Structure 1
Amino acid sequence: MPKKHRVRIRIVSEQEQGQTIQEFQGERIDKDSHIYIRYEENLTDTPLTGEAAKTMTTLKLGSDTIKLIRHGAIQSEQSFRVGSRLPGFYRSPFVQLQLSQMTSRLQIDMQDVAGTVEWAYELFAHEESTGHFKVSLTIQEDPDHESE
Structure 2
Amino acid sequence: MSDKTQAQIRLVSCVDGEEVVQELPAELIQKGTVLYVRYEEPEASPQGGATRTTIKIAPNEVKIIRHGEVQSEHSFEYEKRLPGFYRSPYTTFNLSTFTTDMDVKIEGMYGHVRFAYDLYVFDDLSGQFAIDLHIQEEIK
Q: Which residue of 2 aligns with 1:19?
A: 19
- Kept in 2, the 8 Å contact 1:42–1:53? The answer is no
Alignment CA distance shift 1:39-1:16 (3 Å): same
1:17 offset after TM fit, Å?
Answer: 5.1
SS in 1 for 2:8: strand
Q: 1:56 aligns with which of 42, 52, 63?
A: 52
Contact 1:43 1:53 in 2 (8 A): no
Alignment partner for residue 133 of structure 2, among 129, 132, 137? 137
3-state DSSP of counterpart to 2:13: strand
Q: Which runs of 4+ in 1 moved over 4 A?
A: none
Distance 1:114 1:61 in 2: 11
1:97 to 93, 97, 110: 93
5+ residue gaps, structure 2, are none
CA deviation map 1:119-143 (0-9, x unaligned):
0000000110011111000111104
Identity of aligned residues (%): 38
Give the TM-score, by structure 2 length. 0.94
Is 2:92 the partner of 1:121? no
Higher strand share: 2
Count how many residue pairs are aligned between Structure 1 and Structure 2.
140
Q: Which runs of 5+ in 1 are unaligned?
A: none
Verify: 1:66 aligned to 2:62, yes or no: yes
Q: 1:39 — aligned with what?
A: 39
- Give the structure-1-normalised TM-score: 0.89
User: What is the match of residue 30 of structure 1?
Assistant: 30
